[in-house]
Amino acid sequence: MALELAWYDLVGLLGTVIILAGFFLLQAGRLAGTGLIYQLINLFGAAGILVSLIGKFNLPVFLLEAAWMAVSFYGIVRSLRLKRSQRAG
């Protein structure tokens, strides 16, 4: 019996892999938790998981990933503002 995945399932799996890879790189000391790259990894990973909900909606997962994206977006804005202020000052 073969496992058949729709395109949105594949996007969700990719999002999961992206988030887990980012978390691993953070724990391995290869990324900074406040860095732009880590925030982008989280943003795009969470977006991928949200796309997977097209197939079967799950409210708890939706709320978690929407919050994950909001916090990541906040981190991106904060990182960009910090960089801008460091260049100006």
At residue 74, the pLDDT reads: 96
* CA distance to 45, 49, 69, per residue, from 73 (Å): 12, 16, 6
At residue 83, the pLDDT reads: 87
At residue 6, the pLDDT reads: 97
3-state secondary structure 48-70: HHHHHCCCCCCHHHHHHHHHHHH
Helix, strand or coil for residue 89?
A: coil
Count how many Cα atoms sit within 13 Å of the Cα of residue 62 in the half-sphere of its side chain.
7
Tokens encoding 64: 């978690």
46 in Cβ contact with 15 (< 8 Å): yes
* pLDDT per residue rounded down to tens, the chain (89 residues): 788 999 999 999 999 999 999 999 999 999 999 899 999 999 999 999 999 999 999 999 999 999 999 999 999 999 999 889 888 87
At residue 16, the pLDDT reads: 98
